[in-house]
Amino acid sequence: MTLYGIANCDTVRKAKKLLEQHGHSLTFHDLRKEGLTPPMIQTWLKDVNYADLINKRSTSWKGLSPEQQKAVDAQDLDLVCQFPTLIKRPILATGSKLLVGFNASEYQQL
User: Which residue among 3, 9, 31, 98 is the active-site one?
Assistant: 9
Q: Is 9 a catalytic residue?
A: yes
CB atoms within 10 A of CB 37: 13
SS (H, E, C) the chain: CEEEECCCCHHHHHHHHHHHHCCCCCEEEECCCCCCCHHHHHHHCCCCCHHHHECCCCHHHHHCCHHHHHHHHCCCHHHHHHCHHHECCCEEECCCCEEECCCHHHHHHC
Which residues does the annotation mark as catalytic?
9
